[in-house]
Amino acid sequence: MNHIHLFELSEKKVNGTITQEELDYLNKIFIENPDLEADFYNNIKLITELNEHAKYNMFFKNLKKAENTHDALIKINKLSKTIAFRRFLQYSSAAAVSIIAVLSTLYFTGWFSYHHQINTYKQLSNSITTISKNQKSLWTTLFNNNEITYLRGTAFAISNLGYLVTSYHLVSDNDSVLVTNATDSSLKFHAKIILTDPEQDIAVLKISDSSFSSISNIPYSINYNYTTELGNYVYSLGFSKNSIVFGEGSISSFTGYNEDTNSFQLSIPTNPGNSGSPVFNQYGEVVGIICGKNFEKEGSSFAVKSEVLKSIVDSIKSIDEKAFKTKSSNTIKYLPKNKQVSKITPYIFKIEIY
């Protein structure tokens, strides 16, 4: 009995094809040689394992594949992170370069001298300082509050219900507004700030006194579609002093201060107190609102274009339907200049803000 034959029989045993004769033969041999029996069972074990080896081997291979796939994915993830980081570096360096470019452009175009320029711009509110000299009360010694400051400016009516337009910078820090009629200084009213547009430097007030009911129909209209043409004749009425002052000139530039396209430049001499003054063209239409001047350059005042009033009027309409119910038509269109002014004057108000 050689080992090869034993293996053959072992295999037959595993496959279940072993005959009774063969089994008897094996039993006889095992009694003679017990070592062969151990060999026989070891063979059976090995063959059993081998028979199952195909699927285990397959599983092992699949597992190895999965491991490699997993490793590869992790590597790719790491790589993409590195790439992302590199890209971040690239982009951030590009960003840095562009920031430098922008900054240098701003520097060379003089953007940073803006703060210098702003000093040359003056809002034309007239600030009056009253110094009380005679008393040194406990109050003033405690708080050193011996200066009473208020602003003066101009406003004009846009609705017969007492809606007035003025400059935002006049009323920005204050809530108590007193308006005085240009023709009758005994007509003093309190006014509320209805809405403000700090960007366009526009504020809308409404006369809030109970004694006020309405004003008669406004003789001028607002030209929302006015196209600024250099040399166009314009005039203005405002309170650069205690009584109304007339000023006239031409449109001298399409743009306002610092090339602001929402405003234009006028050659009307203006002074503090002119803020909020309406600018009329030769037909008595409102074409702008004076907002400031460049006090380093003579005769250059700035006015906000009347077109910005369009949205403001619409806003008022949404708050108060009745505000523009009475249509204001331009009744002074063909009147001579002095007649126009006398018709307009009653609708110009001096405002004092405390």
Partner 1 sequence: MKNKLSLDESTIIQGIKNNNTMAITYAYKKYYPSVANYIRLNGGNDDDAKDIFQEAMMVLFHNTQKEHFQLSCQLNTYLYSIARNLWLTELRRQNKNTPEIEDFDQLLSEDELLMEEAEEKVKAQRNLKLSLETLGEPCKTILTAFYIEQLSMQEIAEKMGYTNSENAKNQKYKCLLRLKKIYQKL
Q: Which of residues 106-165 bind partner 1 (CB under 8 A)?
A: none
Is 33 among the residues that bind partner 1 (CB under 8 A)? no
CB of 81 to partner 1, least distance (A): 11
Q: Is 173 helix (H, G, I), strand (E, B) or coil?
A: coil
- Residue 239 vs residues 153, 156, 236, 243, 246: alpha-carbon distances, Å: 6, 11, 10, 6, 9
Cβ neighbours around 203 below 10 Å, total: 26
CB of 63 to partner 1, least distance (A): 6
Contact segment (CB under 8 A) with partner 1 among 53-61, 230-238, 253-261, 315-323 equals 53-61
- Residue 135 vs residues 121, 132, 140, 354: alpha-carbon distances, Å: 36, 7, 8, 22
Is 87 among the residues that bind partner 1 (CB under 8 A)? no
Give whichever of 56 and 354 is closer to partner 1, judged by the CB atom.
Answer: 56
Is 24 among the residues that bind partner 1 (CB under 8 A)? no
Binding-site member from 27, 33, 80, 217 for partner 1 (CB under 8 A): 80
Query: Could you tell me where the beta strands, DSSP code E, fall in the chain?
Result: 121-123, 126-131, 147-159, 163-166, 177-181, 188-197, 202-207, 221-222, 233-238, 245-253, 263-266, 278-281, 285-294, 301-305, 348-353
Is 83 among the residues that bind partner 1 (CB under 8 A)? no
Contact segment (CB under 8 A) with partner 1 among 6-14, 28-36, 206-214, 316-324 equals 6-14
DSSP strand pairing (233-238 vs 278-281):
antiparallel
Binding-site member from 46, 178, 187, 195 for partner 1 (CB under 8 A): 46
DSSP strand pairing (348-353 vs 221-222):
unpaired
Give whichever of 42 and 183 is closer to partner 1, judged by the CB atom.
Answer: 42
Is 69 among the residues that bind partner 1 (CB under 8 A)? yes
Contact segment (CB under 8 A) with partner 1 among 52-60, 113-121, 154-162, 219-227 equals 52-60
Binding-site member from 18, 36, 47, 335 for partner 1 (CB under 8 A): 47
Contact segment (CB under 8 A) with partner 1 among 38-46, 303-311, 335-343, 344-352 equals 38-46
CA separation for the pair 92, 100 (Å, rounded) = 12
Contact segment (CB under 8 A) with partner 1 among 56-64, 180-188, 237-245, 343-351 equals 56-64
CB of 34 to partner 1, least distance (A): 18
Is 15 among the residues that bind partner 1 (CB under 8 A)? no
What size, in residues, is the chain?
354
Is 54 among the residues that bind partner 1 (CB under 8 A)? yes
Query: What is the DSSP secondary-structure string of 293-334?
Result: EETTSTT-EEEEEGGGHHHHHHHHHHH-GGGG-S----S-TT
CA separation for the pair 51, 49 (Å, rounded) = 5
CB 47, CB 10: distance < 8 Å: yes
**For residue 285, which amino acid is it?**
E
CB of 27 to partner 1, least distance (A): 21
Is 65 among the residues that bind partner 1 (CB under 8 A)? yes
**DSSP code of residue 337:** H
Is 53 among the residues that bind partner 1 (CB under 8 A)? yes
CB of 317 to partner 1, least distance (A): 55
Please report, as ranges, the residues that interact with partner 1 according to CB under 8 A.
3-4, 7-8, 11, 42-43, 46-47, 49-60, 62-63, 65-67, 69-70, 73, 76-77, 80
